[in-house]
Structure 1
Amino acid sequence: MSGDVWFAALPDGERGMAAARLLRPWATETIPHHSGRPWLLGSWPPGHVTVGAAGDRRIAVIGRCPVTVAALSECAGRLWDIGDVERIAHSLHGSFHLLASVDGSVRARGSVSGARRLFHTRVAGVSVAADRADRLAAVIGSAPDERLLAAHLLASPLPYPLDDLCVWQGVQAVPSFDCLLIDADGRARTQPWWTPPEPYRAWREGVPAVRSALTAAVDARTAGGGTVSADLSGGLDSTSLCFLAARQQARTRPTGAKLVTLRWQSIDPENDDAAWAARAAAHLPDSEHVTPAPDQWPSWYSALTALTGDAVPTDEPGPWVRDGARMTALCRLMTDRGSRSHLMGGGGDELFSTFPPYLHDYVRRHPLAAYSRIRRQRAAHNWPVGQLLRQLADRGTFGQWLSAWAESLTGAPPPSQALVRSAPSTAWGVGPRMPTWATREAVEAVRDLLREAAATAEPLAAERGQHTALACVRTGGRGLRQLDQVTSRNGLALTAPYLDDQVIEAALAIRVAERSTPGRYKPVLAEAVRGIVPDDVLRRNTKGEYSTDFHVSLRRNLPALLELFDGSRLARAGLIDDGAIRASLLGVHPTPEALRSLGSTLGNEIWLRARPAPTGPASATITEGVP
């Protein structure tokens, strides 16, 4: 199926029917409540929505989950009330939205990472939920919020807690850890459905749970046979998924199961990803391996004008546009070979690495062990002692860190450790800066958002290491969601098994300090896939570096980038100085860090240019109450 994939959920009642009439012209599918009134509307490919029913109770799973109608109907039969659905859902695997309809009320939630998100607004006097914010915005005639557009200029996708804000005025995002409850009268409220696990397990004790969850996550993508594709970059994350998928495909070979891998080649001869990917591919002789030559694979920042000439596929701005031409090539190469689902390794770094803030917790919980580890890492990386000690001594709260971040939005970015001796930050996070081309008004808008958040926001976990991991998981989920919106429009669903709820739970239940070990690369993941991934592939302890690709791509596409920011929509909105960004593009950049904000600004600009003028939907294609 090509075109936007989306759904909306409505309460059961006359007002819900009125809201459905406003949404219906965009929809090609509908699923009713027990009453016959519309419950779910939208457009989706076959197999994307599974509904189980028992009496007046309905459960819907929307996304990648191998549950059957019969099994889901049995679950619906065990529902005592609408809040009981999480107990029943515990056995479900994959990446999906979970919805229930009981006695006219609706309960809906997405996924922990935010790869599956929900939004809601008032339509025809009732609350309506949807997985795409722009669909709701179109119905109520909403415009983008310029304060949020300013925040999308930050050097990374919206970080927590700004990621719980919606770019469309009048449309609210449901926080990733919350569900949405809509009663029969159309009133909505949110409540938590998920609590992060306490990191209590030793890493060896946690490995079996990670192996089980990750295996089930990949099996959820390969269930039913057919062709599945996957990245094979040479890194441990994507390589592990390829071997897990190949093992499952081998079991279902009679159904025509097939694995196709994709590896694009860096133009840097020193990048060793290619050698490790080739080693892995040699162990997968029954799979098809696609490796476009460097001159056959688009560079970053290619074909930007093509993106501005069509309705943008994402419901919010994002830095994915840097890879827009590559996403088009990916879809073509994989769908031509029969794939409708593509696996990527996103989430592996977030779950199976440790981030520097964990040292702040570790030194307090286990000072002797922390001292030994810090001493080794400081010697290896040449960290300045005084700077590191000052950071470890900091006792600032999360709110205080947000306030400090608000004041440092225009400060110099952290120096590259490749150029300057610098200890990594052990604060609650590394607050991304506003780019040098942002206007004073844009900076003040983001500063106000951060100050407002600082007054009430709580960290995602009590300790900095766990909080940082969760924040990074959410950033990864947001990025995956946008990329999936791009590729699904072209018939290829993009999935990341590491970002499934049960994989996240299993990984984050392991003690933060034990998720990495000096001298070993991602030991938890390596042990979890041992026996599935060959030992000679697991020996890798390096990671590919792509600075050369960045510089070549920038030089190759510089004229198009300069033209794009000539008469910029962001400049017209008073958010950037287009002269300043053009000067920066023409400057000298020893490392990609100097232009880290380019991707976000570029995504913002193209999103604004490609937003279609508000129009009514094309046609009405379904009938009231007809499944």
Structure 2
Amino acid sequence: MRTRAGTTIIETPKNHVLTELRSAPPSRQAVEDLVQTDRPGVITLADGSGLIAFVPAWSGQRLYWAIDDDIVLLSTSARSIAGAVGPRLNRNSLAATLIGTLPLGISMRLSPWSGVHAAAPFEMLHVDQNFAAHLIPVAPRIDPIADDEAIEEGIAQLRKSLMEAVHYRIRSSAAVTCDISGGVDSAANAYMLRALHRGFNVTRARAHSKWNLDDRWAERIVNDLHLPLIEYPSIGSTSFAYDATSPYAYGNVPETPINWSDTEGYVRSLARRRNRHARIQFTGLGGDELFSALPALAWSLVRELPLSSPRMAIRYCLNYRIPLRRGIPSLANRTGYGEHLEQCLRDLAADGKTPDDQLAWTAGAVSFPSCMSEEAKGLSLDLPFDPGGIQPLNRDRTVHQALESLLGQANITRQLNDMFPESRTTWTSPFLDPRVIRAALALPMRMREHPFLNKPMLYKAMRGFMPREIFARTTKGEYTSESYSAIQRDRGRLLRDLAGGALADLGLVDPKKLKTRFSMKLLSSEFLFELQRFSAVERWVRNVL
């Protein structure tokens, strides 16, 4: 802890860095350039008018802050600040966290501790001399390519950015391993490593079913690369998805509940590999957001190609079997992001769910979990900020959805590195590199669609490095059966843990509703997702209390 001019900075462990810009005050442009990076830690600027603090957006961290007796507390760890102002869990935030479909624009601004505030990525905190605080949004820098003649140049820039991102990550002498799931993104990592003539090992979690085609594609990719494959048990057999009580690995409790507990067993297996030297573990996180057709794509296309919009609108309604009277208004909708969030909360308060509109800012329906208590529903809607004032990350809904989801993937990568430091493994993904993100999102939206290829944008960037057949794959791996196997294994114990657990003690879960749902012979897929979220939050609360 360090104190300077009435400002207390609480630094977090595990090499979370704090940087103070002591030289002449930089320009607004220079500050915004730092916001767009992926360097970890809090950056502060102080002059005669007050204090500005932020965390670079792509670091996967968030800025938490509090003002206590005219002292400003800043950290990437909410728990560090809570320890200084009084560690009390925020029931409102925990209740909102139970809503797995809650818009990211809201969930990214929640702190699980009372008295501790959170700034979302791409927001700067300004505290004036009177200790009045407000947040300043910074727009992510995306420069869309408007000229068709510049598309090839854009593809070349994407290719260059990808290769530079991989090269930057392997510049040290650390050993390199690459996860091969059988999908396009992890395969692209492997082929880029080979193109850079870097030796590496390949890892994979076996599929639960012998009919899962991911295994076959993974074998084909590994055979093409002529590399030995290190296999681990299936994701489902080592899953923590329905575990509400286990301690976290090495006792490293994350800042917020994790949403990747289904793969935690596989991650632990990788972390248990003892290496004499440091290791870099490549993942495919972020590839879907950058290159796949996201839910709002049709909304973006009718604006990118206005002359073709009538034909595209009719085709969209026919392809998805949506009545024209419902599909056309969705495509023409111009509701702002903040207004959309306000409407979501009004619909939740009135009906317990929102309309299922795939073209909205937050695709799909938002609904209260079936076993959430009535008190928790009310608490979840009582937010410490005005959602109507939140600005989108981009005016284009597809780009906004991609950026929001990519920020979530960056947070997962940060959690992996914070929770498993003892393994001497650095988890990373080139698809979360800021330069790669800017290059990919600058390309026209129509390049995300192709009649025969998956992720055609990535295919064009990888031409010459990677076989076309991988992009022409027509099927995806199926993992639903693994989820059902995991819940059947843990069903009785999970009911006891949730019905008599910390969330029930806090009044956020209705034990009677839980027992009723568990009494059903067949659990719906929607309820399984609810249970995963409830388990993750219950486990986190038990570990911090």
Aligned partner of 2:13 in structure 1 is 43
1:332 aligns with 2:302: no
Contact 1:302 1:325 in 2 (8 A): no
SS of 2:260 mapped into structure 1: helix
Aligned partner of 1:240 in structure 2 is 188
Aligned partner of 1:220 in structure 2 is 168
Aligned partner of 1:577 in structure 2 is 510
Aligned partner of 1:524 in structure 2 is 457
For the residues of structure 2 that align with 1:118 and 1:446, how far apart are their CA atoms?
22
Identity, in percent, stands at 25
Aligned partner of 1:487 in structure 2 is 420
Measured after TM superposition, the shift of residue 180 of structure 1 is: 4.5
Task: After superposition, give the CA deviation of every residue in 1:581-617 in whole Å (9 maximum; x if it has no partner).
Answer: 23324435576234322222111111111114xxxxx
Letter of the 2:219 partner, please give it: A
For the residues of structure 2 that align with 1:57 and 1:295, how far apart are their CA atoms?
45
Cα distance 1:570–1:184, how it changes in 2: closer, same or farther (>3 A)?
same
SS of 1:342 mapped into structure 2: strand
Measured after TM superposition, the shift of residue 176 of structure 1 is: 0.9
For the residues of structure 2 that align with 1:115 and 1:352, how far apart are their CA atoms?
20
For the residues of structure 1 that align with 2:235 and 2:403, how far apart are their CA atoms?
38
Letter of the 1:438 partner, please give it: M
Letter of the 1:243 partner, please give it: Y
**Which of 409, 412, 420 lines up with 1:476 in the alignment?**
409
Contact 1:156 1:597 in 2 (8 A): no
Cα distance 1:270–1:532, how it changes in 2: closer, same or farther (>3 A)?
same
Cα distance 1:121–1:245, how it changes in 2: closer, same or farther (>3 A)?
farther
Task: After superposition, give the CA deviation of every residue in 1:270-328 in whole Å (9 maximum; x if it has no partner).
Answer: 3211121112112333x552112449951353665433898561112233334433332
Measured after TM superposition, the shift of residue 146 of structure 1 is: 0.8
SS of 1:120 mapped into structure 2: strand
For the residues of structure 2 that align with 1:388 and 1:427, how far apart are their CA atoms?
11
For the residues of structure 1 that align with 2:354 and 2:117, how far apart are their CA atoms?
33
Contact 1:313 1:489 in 2 (8 A): no
Measured after TM superposition, the shift of residue 482 of structure 1 is: 3.2
Aligned partner of 1:560 in structure 2 is 493
Gaps in structure 1 of 5+ consecutive residues: 1-7, 24-40, 59-78, 252-257, 416-422, 613-627
Task: After superposition, give the CA deviation of every residue in 1:78-129 in whole Å (9 maximum; x if it has no partner).
Answer: x653447838968998654474778899865434346132222346743232
Measured after TM superposition, the shift of residue 487 of structure 1 is: 2.8
For the residues of structure 2 that align with 1:365 and 1:309, how far apart are their CA atoms?
47
Cα distance 1:589–1:456, how it changes in 2: closer, same or farther (>3 A)?
farther
Aligned partner of 2:366 in structure 1 is 432
Letter of the 2:57 partner, please give it: V
**Which of 279, 282, 287 lines up with 1:343 in the alignment?**
282
Contact 2:454 2:471 in 1 (8 A): no
Cα distance 1:337–1:598, how it changes in 2: closer, same or farther (>3 A)?
farther
Contact 1:111 1:500 in 2 (8 A): no
For the residues of structure 1 that align with 2:235 and 2:209, how far apart are their CA atoms?
13
**Which of 86, 108, 112 lines up with 1:167 in the alignment?**
112
> Where does 1:141-152 land on structure 2 (aligned, <5 Å)?
141-152=86-97
For the residues of structure 1 that align with 2:98 and 2:312, how far apart are their CA atoms?
37
**Count of residue pairs brought into register by the alignment:** 539
Contact 1:260 1:289 in 2 (8 A): yes
Task: After superposition, give the CA deviation of every residue in 1:385-411 in whole Å (9 maximum; x if it has no partner).
Answer: 444234224443334422332233385
Measured after TM superposition, the shift of residue 455 of structure 1 is: 3.2
For the residues of structure 1 that align with 2:134 and 2:100, how far apart are their CA atoms?
32
Aligned partner of 1:409 in structure 2 is 348
Contact 1:127 1:187 in 2 (8 A): no
**Which of 440, 449, 452 lines up with 2:383 in the alignment?**
449
**Which of 360, 367, 377 lines up with 2:299 in the alignment?**
360
**Which of 595, 598, 611 lines up with 2:528 in the alignment?**
595
Instruction: Answer with 106-115 or 263-272: which moved more.
Output: 106-115
For the residues of structure 2 that align with 1:328 and 1:200, how far apart are their CA atoms?
42
SS of 2:392 mapped into structure 1: coil
Task: After superposition, give the CA deviation of every residue in 1:130-182 in whole Å (9 maximum; x if it has no partner).
Answer: 22211221222231211100010112476113312222222222321134567
Aligned partner of 2:261 in structure 1 is 321
Measured after TM superposition, the shift of residue 448 of structure 1 is: 3.2
Task: After superposition, give the CA deviation of every residue in 1:39-97 in whole Å (9 maximum; x if it has no partner).
Answer: xx45336xx8698xxxx966xxxxxxxxxxxxxxxxxxxx6534478389689986544
For the residues of structure 1 that align with 2:140 and 2:74, how far apart are their CA atoms?
22
SS of 1:161 mapped into structure 2: helix
RMSD: 3.8
Contact 1:93 1:217 in 2 (8 A): no
Gaps in structure 2 of 5+ consecutive residues: none
Cα distance 1:495–1:585, how it changes in 2: closer, same or farther (>3 A)?
farther
Contact 1:319 1:602 in 2 (8 A): no
What TM-score results when the alignment is normalised by the length of structure 1? Answer: 0.75
Cα distance 1:240–1:366, how it changes in 2: closer, same or farther (>3 A)?
same
Contact 1:126 1:185 in 2 (8 A): no
Aligned partner of 1:550 in structure 2 is 483
Contact 2:376 2:508 in 1 (8 A): yes
Cα distance 1:218–1:327, how it changes in 2: closer, same or farther (>3 A)?
same
For the residues of structure 2 that align with 1:516 and 1:93, how far apart are their CA atoms?
29
Cα distance 1:180–1:560, how it changes in 2: closer, same or farther (>3 A)?
same
Task: After superposition, give the CA deviation of every residue in 1:351-370 in whole Å (9 maximum; x if it has no partner).
Answer: 11232323234334534534
Task: After superposition, give the CA deviation of every residue in 1:174-204 in whole Å (9 maximum; x if it has no partner).
Answer: 3211345679999976544553424334554
For the residues of structure 2 that align with 1:407 and 1:511, how far apart are their CA atoms?
34
Letter of the 2:468 partner, please give it: D
